[in-house]
Structure 1
Amino acid sequence: MDNQLTNVVLVGPMGSGKTSVGRRLACVLKRDFFDSDFEIIARTGVAIDHIFDVEGEEGFRQRETQVLKDLCEIPNIVIATGGGIVIKEENRTLLKHDSFVVYLSSSIAQLVKRTANSKSRPLLEQSSNREKTIRDLVNAREDFYQEVADVVIETTGKKLYAIINEIKKVAPK
């Protein structure tokens, strides 16, 4: 892996801090930052929940894969992914190829707290029990997060700067 061109990709469940960590990490590493969900919104001109409503989850996942392919072609960036990016095998293959993947892990309680006021998470908006939905999603995806991860960083109860410092110690320079 050529460290000068290696992307740092953040994976993990919704609410684990991928976007917040990614934005700050990119500044610290002096790299450009991309969020795959924001990229989908920019390309379509509509919110993710609208894509879910019109195209369903499968339509969204197809768009997500195309965005991931495109972002992986850009060298030396930090990418925050959507929580479900690891579902598709094609995405896991892309993530494991020439990227340094950081799995941001967090407790269910922390994820519930961090997503409590969010109105832009379609899988949670369809749920009457947010905690159960988050737990089910994490359980269904945990093995995939572990499969693609070069390193796992536990974020529960940690400040942003502490998480950044942990990643900085192990990330390609």
Structure 2
Amino acid sequence: MWRWLRALASEAHEACGGIGVGAVGMCLTGNFALSMMIEPAMQAPVLCQPSLPLDDPGAIAMSDEEAAAVRARMDQDDLTAQLYRFEGDSFCRAERLAAYFDRFGDRLTEKTLPDSAANPSPAPFFNAHVPTPHSVVTQHLIDAAGTETVKAVEEIIAFLRSRLHP
């Protein structure tokens, strides 16, 4: 389904060299980084509040075949993915997390932040349309040393560095 992103990862890896590429998917693109694992260049997927499909909180936006191919790649190359969300997120609920763990189990590391860690004053759009803490590394980020959201950003950067620059 996401062939063009896989092609982009391959092209970026070819142009830049190195071990491979990483990607951070957020919200509607949250699972894209994981779907890109079928591309051999993809080494470091991060899922931030994956929200699709919107109409089924206990599902992931991947076909069974695609999920099996991703899991096989992760097992073959000993790769993991990271997933971040807020505890009370109404778009990326606990049921979705359970669905990811059902498919990817020990290949997935997750961090669920408490809602109290979220920036209480995101942009007006978020106040109007996103009823719960949602965007871990953007709108609901509290950009101050030592906060849980900054720690999440630091973990993501460390993960990308460890996979792409060991």
- Which structure shows the bigger proportion of residues in helix conformation? 1
Indicate whether the TM-score tops 0.5. Answer: no
State TM-score, norm by structure 2: 0.36
